[in-house]
């Protein structure tokens, strides 16, 4: 638990620790993040193999980070939904569906970016 009276730098240091722990928890417990992380590794290998440019690296990294960040927020929202209302409730279903929709939008964008980046390498 953060103590609001502790020095700023200690407070920031602890917050960074919690955030790193969150990243580790996502990778350890969430199947969707594990799949996305595996795809990120494959894309990184592809990036080195095809010697993509600095701009292409930036775009690829941005796409990966966007999808995984939104997936992490979606996971957090799902956990809150399950915590506040475990039973079937249409409004919880709606919240979960639109949060999943955000993941779908970013994933579709990332797929298009991947196709635009790599299709020209094969033709």
Q: Which residues bind ligand ATP (CB under 6 A)?
A: 32, 78, 85, 88-89, 92-93, 96-97, 100
Active site residue 6: no
Per annotation, catalytic residue among 6, 51, 56, 71: 71
Residue 82 is encoded by which pair of tokens?
A: 């399950």
Rounded to 5 degrees, φ, ψ at 50 are: -90, 0
Residue 60 or 71 with smaller CB distance to ligand ATP: 71
Rounded Cα distance, 51 and 113, in Å: 16
Q: How far is the CB of 31 from ligand ATP (least distance, A)?
A: 6
Q: Known catalytic residues?
A: 71
């Amino acid at each position: 638990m953060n103590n609001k009276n502790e020095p700023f730098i200690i407070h920031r240091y602890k917050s960074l620790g919690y955030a790193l722990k969150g990243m580790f928890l996502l990778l350890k417990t969430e199947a969707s993040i594990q799949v996305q992380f595996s795809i990120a590794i494959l894309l990184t290998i592809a990036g080195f193999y095809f010697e993509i440019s600095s701009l292409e690296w930036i775009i690829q990294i941005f796409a990966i980070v966007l999808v995984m960040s939104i997936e992490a927020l979606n996971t957090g929202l799902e956990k809150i939904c399950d915590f506040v209302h475990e039973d079937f409730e249409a409004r919880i279903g709606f919240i979960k569906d639109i949060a999943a929709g955000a993941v779908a939008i970013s994933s579709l964008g990332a797929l298009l970016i991947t196709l635009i980046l790599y299709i020209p390498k094969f033709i």
